[in-house]
Amino acid sequence: MDIETTAIKDVIVVTPRRFGDSRGFFSEVWNEVNLQSAGITDQFVQDNHAFSAEKGTIRGLHYQLSPNAQGKLVRVTRGAVLDVAADIRKGSPTFGQHVAVELSADNWKQLWVPKGFAHGYCTLTENVEFLYKVSGKYSPEDEAGIIWNDPDLAIDWKVDPSSVHLSDKDKILPRLKDQNKLFEYGEIA
């Protein structure tokens, strides 16, 4: 596995190696020992698989608060997305900043989104399959989010804003400055 740091040191790009031959390929996409040596020490409790038919579908920016905060290891097995992790840890030197990485079936990159970050993605192609491991169980009472087009975050989603596809829930999320459910820097284990 190749490990890359990003502009926010806690967010990590992981690129598993693929070994191919005339039959196809093999890839070890998760290895506990390798990821622990890269600083990803969370234990995963669930795997999720999402499908988005339309280009320009934005899911997020979502997160869960403690005690069910989630770290996420995300990847794409069909199509391409722009994947975003936004630091929402009050007191963090990178509070309000984000990392955006293109993940695709072609580049085989994965993104580690640690606890304390809001996460979202935008489909750059049609028929995207998005897989992710989470380190905390789904908890509706702990879930929260930030509106995708918050001007303070200034995320360039790489699609025409007038043509995005959103869930009803994601259309009404608050801005970061109006969100009272955030993390404190250093509180998350």
Per-residue pLDDT of 27-56, as tens digits, reads: 999 999 999 999 999 999 999 999 999 999
In a domain, 31, yes or no: yes
Q: Name the H helices within the chain.
A: 32-37, 168-171
Active site positions, annotated: 62, 132
Pair of tokens at residue 183: 């993390």
Confidence (pTM): 0.94
Number of domains in the chain: 1
pLDDT along the chain (189 residues), means of 10: 94 95 93 91 96 97 95 98 98 97 98 98 98 96 97 97 96 96 85
Q: What are the helix and strand counts (H, E) for the chain?
A: 2, 15
**Phi, psi at 34, each rounded to 5°:** -65, -40
Q: What is the domain range of residue 180?
A: 2-184
7 occurs within a structural domain: yes
